[in-house]
Amino acid sequence: MERTGSAYLIGVDEAGRGPLAGPVAAAAAFVPPPAYPFLSEVNDSKQLSEKKREVLLALMRTAGVRFGFGFATPREIDEFNILGATFKAMARAVGRLTGALSTGPSGTLVLVDGPHRIRDLSLKQEAVVGGDGRSLSIAAASIFAKVMRDRWMSDLDRRWPGYGFAVHKGYGTKAHMTALNLLGPCPEHRRSFAPVRMLVEAEA
């Protein structure tokens, strides 16, 4: 559903809304039209293996796709709730990309994956349900957000060993819950999420 009416068509997607730990990450992507023929395999990141996402990210960068990255911390998630924090991450990603592209509001259309537009964003935008399977720009953003967040969780695994962040990426797997009950939450855990909150309350 890519369009040609805007000088800059920017796709936005997030990664990491569901995990119990780590940031929620967002990416904004601008795919220059000459790159379209080379990116036929770019798809919703959830449909791709970790290795394939890395390969496609390298291909997109070679083809001239531009990205902006944004995130919200676990503390921001606890303060603003996950949806509010996701909007903040998305707005930061869009801001970094548009700043790098030096584009103004009149020539930009932002396509946002999902049913919600980004709050407090001054650019024209459309919410696209299932957008990561319908828009190349959103699919590109979904891959970038997922790859960057996965790398971040691998870094957190080295900082906070024992939880298995590099494996489960913060999701509430059986192994993660076992480690959480044994070690207690670390600063990267989202205390507003029920499994972590109940553990903290039980220890209080």
Q: Report pLDDT digits (tens) over 135-158.
A: 999 999 999 999 999 999 999 999
Domain presence at residue 67: yes
pLDDT of residue 202: 85
> How far separated are the first and last CA of the chain, in Å rounded?
52
Predicted confidence band of residue 165 (pLDDT cuts 50, 70, 90):
very high
Does a structural domain hold residue 34? Answer: yes
Residue 3 belongs to a domain? no
Mean pLDDT of 88-102: 94
Number of C-beta neighbours around residue 171 at 10 A: 16
Residue 130's pLDDT band (cuts 50, 70, 90)? very high
The rounded distance, in Å, linking the Cα atoms of 47 and 45 is 5
Task: Output the pLDDT for position 140.
Answer: 98
The CATH code of the domain that includes 15 is 3.30.420.10
Tell me whether residue 75 is in a domain: yes
Three-state SS at 128: strand
Total domains in the fold of the chain: 1
* 2: in domain: no
Residue 1 lies in a domain: no
Task: Note down the domain range covering 189.
Answer: 8-203
Within a domain: 114: yes
Spatial separation of the C-alpha atoms in residues 73 and 163, rounded to whole Å: 18
What's residue 4's pLDDT? 52
Q: Categorize the per-residue pLDDT at 7 as very low, low, confident or very high, splitting at 50, 70 and 90.
A: confident
